[in-house]
Amino acid sequence: MGARIVLQHADISRALTRIAHEILESNRGADDLVILGIPTRGVVLARRIATLVSEFSGIDVPVGSLDVTMYRDDLSRHPTRAPSPTSIPPRGVDGATVVLVDDVLYSGRTIRAALDAIGDIGRPRAVRLAALVDRGHRELPIRPDFVGKNLPSSPSERIYVRLEDVDGEESVTIEQGPTGDQGSSIEGSAS
């Protein structure tokens, strides 16, 4: 079974535009908003969302990255990748509404790790979650606040998010994974 394209460039752009509007509506503007992406593709998406929020609101929204590799509770089950630098905007996260951005939400373990990492950095007023794709199969009680596409899938399927900035192309595809595969995003992390 080959790859099935579920989102193309225009679809991804529309989804991010919708997410940016929803963030502004939910937050009642862009004041005290900080957007943090989870490497690798979550950082790219966070920058795009922050740019859109800034365009729509007229307020420059701080954006950064939050590496959660060392906070994961499933390192023994999944291959680790080299940690990426965490980059928190100068204003910090204290008292802010932090929007975490990830490409694919799956088990919820990456987001649990992100919450632990944020707790070590500061104390935000609120934390929200934006995901380009929510594929279900949660192992933890975590739900996104903003979703580009709900994509129910089998645990044996894999979701691949490809972004121009990282991969030289723009798409989201779903493929049948090898037998026994846990089915995750292209980075190999079961978010």
CATH code for position 40:
3.40.50.2020
Whether residue 139 lies inside any domain: the answer is yes
How big is the CA angle at 83 (ends 45 and 90), to the nearest 5 degrees?
A: 60
CB atoms under 10 Å from CB of 10, counted, come to: 9
Contact by Cβ (8 Å): 83, 28: no
58-73 pLDDT tens trace = 999 999 999 998 887 7
Judged by DSSP in three states, 16 sits in helix
List CB contacts of 175: < 8 A, sequence separation 6 or more.
1, 2, 3, 4, 157, 158, 160
Reply yes or no on whether the pLDDT at 182 is more than 70: no
Flag whether the pTM goes above 0.75: yes
- By C-alpha distance, which of 31, 22, 10, 30 is closest to 129? 22
Q: For the chain, what's the residue count? A: 191
- The boundaries of the domain holding residue 123 are 10-72+87-153
Task: Report how many domains make up the chain.
Answer: 1
List CB contacts of 13: < 8 A, sequence separation 6 or more.
none
Reply yes or no on whether the pLDDT at 152 is more than 50: yes
70-105 pLDDT tens trace = 887 766 666 666 678 899 999 999 999 999 999 999
